Chains A and B, each alone.
Chain A
């Protein structure tokens, strides 16, 4: 219950934290409302996986080090580099299929094909393992849970509370009827990718 309440209380901050990764993707990929909800579900699935990985880390770190030092264990710079790389790659991929045998087209099909789940799940996972302020709070609470099941349960309910704030996102995908919006979304993804790459590199030093 405490996880759910924390998620509900800090959902806007979580939303703001995930929005840079999710907004350009939904804007560029979005089709019908149903398709957009499917993309969101895949993103949230990836995010849940990230949360559960953290739940295990939080429980084990809580046992070993105490809740206060958990943040130092996470190679956040590396996560940002991976997220940045993924966003930049997505931004660079051609919006339309070009040469069928080309590497770009094959990558595009893998990452952004209408049936591909790789991109939204990866984006969700990489944003899920980031340390936004409410997430740090959740991490500390989970570390105090005492058991692995308690830690997992806390994160699962925290995830549920924050996920409610993502429900309007598929509507954004409806804006992309205009080709310019899709182009801007792709470019945004590239810009954000470069930003996260640089931010990640700066964190490693």
Chain B
């Protein structure tokens, strides 16, 4: 008997019965409608309702396909990457509209006008716990992207999804996830296992440095995403060095290496937030399990895992490494349907459809709500460009 194809087997997770499909789909349709509109009447301004309508349809069509086909990662990556690229467009246009430049001046920092992002949560939390000082130059409450709002969002998402945050909510991860899909086959296949510990080392280093200098060392020196968001104004040798390092990290880890390896190299080999987030996998209700009675040790899951979270050792133990991002790529790829989303405390491999659905609901809702506004934001800027010739007002 010939080996069944991945596509045919993955569709075993598909919901085929029409009434079951409607029952599974309808609540998400209503929830996303409510969350994306914020319960407010829809604005008659085409620059507002068109992005809203497009993003609503875009998210819901892809969720429908997830349910109907049984594939998770195949459709998640489309949403995730779109969110990231449109976030960059929206964020840069917003910065230019507000400040006239992507550069962050020292006076803006001194006035606490730096938008807070989740990447600095670990380096902010530890000095805050030790010294009761918030070392990030942003607003605690109020203003744009305040610290308290982002931390609250992160706690909620982490409790629900663990490091799934990195595959369903991180507006940076989508960039490299998108780039990693450009080639059909990787040109670089072997990356030493010891490099997968580098994110933990960078986490420890930036936490120690932030506590020593009482400044967000990661933002100052190492954040690759400064390249496409905001960066320190280059006005001396030190800021020039910082800019060169950040651009090099972005080009290498977010663009070139993901293309060559088909992996999320920034997430898997560098990101200190990802390393910190890995520990939240211990408290979230979900994980990925391998049914050892079905597994034939073909290694396909380890081969496709974008964050180096599966290896022979973890497969033999019937699970993933701590760094698993719950993207679902291994679940889609497994030719024996041995891998499934799993709810802790339940039997491995029992009701994989239900387990997947119970994971998909919070994960997708988080992506739709968090990412939906970013997609609208980016689309609004594109429409503005098309209608007025400029992305900024």
What residues make up the interface of A, taking CB atoms closer than 8 Å to B? 12, 16-17, 19-20, 23-24, 132, 180, 183-188, 190-192, 195, 198, 201-203, 205
Contact = CB atoms under 8 A, between A and B. Distances in A.
Interface string B344-356: 0000000000000
Contacts of A23: 204, 208
Contact of A191 (B130, B205, B211, B238): B205
Nearest to B201: A187
A190 B237 CA distance: 23
Given A16-B211, A17-B212, A20-B212, A188 B201 contact: yes
A183 B197 contact: yes
10 contacts: A19-B211, A20-B208, A180-B197, A183-B197, A184-B200, A187-B198, A191-B198, A191-B201, A198-B241, A201-B241
Contacts of A201: 241
B363 to A, nearest CB: 28
A198 B221 contact: yes
B209 interface: yes
Interface string B198-239: 101110110011011000010001000000000000000110
Contacts of A132: 212
A180 to B, nearest CB: 6
Contacts of A192: 205, 208-209
Nearest to A192: B205
Nearest to A17: B212
Interface of B: 130-131, 194, 197-198, 200-202, 204-205, 208-209, 211-212, 217, 221, 237-238, 241, 245
Nearest to B272: A191
Contacts of A16: 130, 208, 211-212
A186 B237 CA distance: 29
A86 to B, nearest CB: 15
Contacts of B212: 16-17, 19-20, 132
Contacts of B245: 198
A83 to B, nearest CB: 12
A166 to B, nearest CB: 14
Contact of B209 (A20, A187, A190, A205): A20
B204 A188 contact: yes
Contacts of A183: 194, 197
A165 B202 CA distance: 25
A81 to B, nearest CB: 14
Contacts of A19: 208, 211-212
A198 B240 CA distance: 12
A202 B211 contact: no
B317 to A, nearest CB: 15
A205 to B, nearest CB: 4
